[in-house]
Amino acid sequence: MIKRVKLLGYVLTGIVSVLMVSGVLLIWLGTTGDTVVSADSRVCYKGTSTDSVGLMFNVYSGSEFLPDILETLSSNGAKATFFVGGTWAEKNETMLKEIVAGGHEIGNHGYLHRDHDKLNKQGNRDEISLTHKLVRSICGYEMTLFAPPSGAYSTVTVDVAEELGYKTIMWSKDTIDWRDHDTHLITERATKDVVGGDLILMHPTANTAEALPEIVNKIKSNNLNLAVVSDVL
């Protein structure tokens, strides 16, 4: 009897250890750029399209590089999704309208670039709804996609986004162009092993604008289209 109890204890200990390791692995995967694992199944890290990828530009600064980015997209018949911050939209109404006029998608990136995982329900609601109303007032655009600043979100964030008619969007490839000002590295991160459904995160930086023509060419050479995130999902 004592042996059986000890054996059961060993088995239970083993199961707990496996679960703990699995939990750590899932948390780690959820924080890496090239993963589709999410602690919340409602959060989109990747689309279901087999023939298209989505270029995502999170915009809080870098307005001076947007004309070149828009020109590259236009000359290649490519579309992208621009997740705009509320404070940026307030100061750049003309550029916001140009993005919409180019047939691109506009997404919500919060108002003050705050970490939404640290906000309560009302804080999340204020950040998203204020930006929504602002963009709508400027160009009549009704946004439906929300990209949390810094990729920071909680269950409360996703709940509030849903209540406001939004899908919460992350990414499957992160160029980390805001940190690494290296054109070659940005290109490699955006295009390595690219497949349909990928969501590629970028920002309007000088090196990203320089890298974009090659990024577009490499993606197209893989027989993939560049579409807005909504279509890729």
User: pLDDT tens across 119-154, in order?
Assistant: 999 999 999 999 999 999 999 999 999 999 999 999
Q: DSSP code of 169?
A: B
Give, rounded to a whole angstrom, the gap between the first and last alpha carbons of the chain. Answer: 56
**Vertex 177: Cα angle to 188 and 183 (nearest 5):** 50
Contact 218, 96 (CB under 8 A): no
Pair of tokens at residue 42? 């409602």
Intervals of the chain under pLDDT 50: 1-38
Phi first, then psi, for residue 53 (nearest 5°) are -125, 160
pLDDT at 36: 39
pLDDT at 40: 85
Whole-angstrom Cα distance, residue 153 to residue 220? 32
pLDDT at 44: 97
pLDDT at 59: 98
Domain boundaries, the chain: 1-30, 52-232
pTM of the model: 0.84
CATH number of 52-232: 3.20.20.370
